[in-house]
Amino acid sequence: MLSLRLPRVFTINQVPKVFHEDSIISGYRHPRSSATDCILSLFQLTNETLNIWTHFLPTWYFLWKLVSVVLIQTAWQDSFTWPLLMFLLSCCIYPLASSCAHTFSSMSARARHICFFFDYGALSFYSLGSAISYSAYVFPDKWVNGVFHQCYVPIAVFNTVICTSIACYSRFPECQSPKFSKYLRVFAFAYPYLFDHIPLFYRVFLCVGEGCTDNDTNILHYYHIALALLTGFLFATHLPERLAPGSFDYIGHSHQLFHVCGILGTHFQMKAIEQDMVTRRPWLLEHSIPITFSHSLGAALLCVVVNLIIILLYSLPLRSAPACQEKKHDKQPKKTSAKVHRCC
């Protein structure tokens, strides 16, 4: 009978610094894993296993929602559904890119950087998908067709360039200046989120009186905002593993919780967008900016092209030398310092 041998796992002092995770002591895969080993690691418990599955499985849920919109709502024949289509497409891409990045990031230091470049590009595309759908369905009545509304999507496209560029750059200084690298990455993700949600924050927290779009959908927006804040908190603080290093290596560390809260937040965001689209459609069709190719599908296509160019430009220097130098390894990883750093 054929036997399947799963790859062994290692401790933090057995892998190079570039693979170290803050307060994660064990469960590391070989830093020179083959593609086969990476796939096999999906079926054993490592410190990346739940990171992968918590994003891979929801990808199929969002794909089902996307197919439903295309087939049931005949999206291609109704331009009003195009922003929802772009949002759902981004909801499929970002968890899939994340799960692939976590799966194959242990092949080498160079592969690790490039995998997460694509992860960051997918997150910035998701940010644009949110902005496109917010522009079409979520803007408060008071702001519809105003100057900010007209400039909102073009600025969001520009923000994707900033987000992807800063996030990719943050990988280069992280082994020498891990805190600086972390601050850059937090800014790269927080900035587009805060900009995208300016109209929503005004609608649910500040707006008073007529034209504030105070409807039943707001409770879903509250759920999404609360989960988004929790997601950001987990990403920035590395809790709970920072309180007890080594105790949450396999189950319960912040990145797993970050993935779960992020997906739940996206789910409530999707529900809110769908409900706003349905309940506000007659009014929006009469008063809002017409939904055109350039402000929906065209903007998304431009984002994809620009992000791929940025990823290519940041990947080219890695051909000569990875951002964090690593020594060649034989069959077993060589030991390095046991000091814990965040280099991912």
Structure tokens belonging to residue 141: 């009545």
Distance (Å, whole) CA 282 – CA 33: 55
Are 97 and 116 a contacting pair, CB within 8 Å? no
Q: What is the pLDDT of residue 335?
A: 43
Structure tokens belonging to residue 26: 């064990």
Q: Mean pLDDT for the chain?
A: 91
Residue that has been written with the tokens 């080498």 in this structure? 108
Cα–Cα nearest to 172, from 336, 321, 329:
321
Q: What is the pLDDT of residue 70?
A: 86
Domains of the chain by range and CATH? 41-316 (1.20.1070)
Q: What is the pLDDT of residue 333?
A: 56
Percent of the chain residues topping a pLDDT of 90 = 82
The stretch 283-304 carries a mean pLDDT of 94
Cα–Cα nearest to 343, from 188, 172, 120, 189:
172
132 pLDDT more than 50: yes
Percent of the chain residues topping a pLDDT of 70 = 91
CA distances from 66 to 60, 75, 160, 288 (A): 10, 10, 22, 24
322 pLDDT more than 90: no
The stretch 272-295 carries a mean pLDDT of 95
Q: What is the pLDDT of residue 4?
A: 64
Kindly indicate the confidence band of residue 175, based on its pLDDT and cuts at 50, 70 and 90: confident
Q: Which residues, 6+ apart, have CB-to-CB distance to 88 below 8 Å?
A: 62, 65, 66, 69, 129, 270
What percentage of the chain's residues is helix, strand, coil (to nearest 5)? 65, 0, 30
Q: What is the pLDDT of residue 320?
A: 72
The stretch 291-307 carries a mean pLDDT of 94
DSSP H or E segment with residue 200: helix 198-201
330 pLDDT more than 50: no
CA distances from 179 to 171, 184, 219, 248 (A): 11, 9, 36, 22
Distance (Å, whole) CA 276 – CA 270: 10
The stretch 318-339 carries a mean pLDDT of 51
Are 14 and 330 a contacting pair, CB within 8 Å? no
Please tell me which residue, 127 or 211, carries the higher pLDDT value: 127
The stretch 141-154 carries a mean pLDDT of 96
The stretch 7-15 carries a mean pLDDT of 94
Q: What is the pLDDT of residue 6?
A: 81
Distance (Å, whole) CA 175 – CA 342: 8
The stretch 209-217 carries a mean pLDDT of 91
DSSP H helical ranges for 20-177: 35-40, 49-72, 82-104, 109-133, 147-169
344 pLDDT more than 90: no
Q: pLDDT digit string (tens) for 226-267?
A: 999 999 999 999 999 999 999 999 999 999 999 999 999 999
List the single range of 4-8, 44-48, 149-153, 233-237 with lowest mean pLDDT: 4-8
Per-residue burial over 79-90, b = 16 or more CB atoms within 10 Å of its CB, e = otherwise: bbbbbbbbbbbb
The stretch 284-294 carries a mean pLDDT of 93
Are 307 and 160 a contacting pair, CB within 8 Å? yes
Question: CB count, 10 Å around CB of 327?
Answer: 9
Distance (Å, whole) CA 3 – CA 92: 35
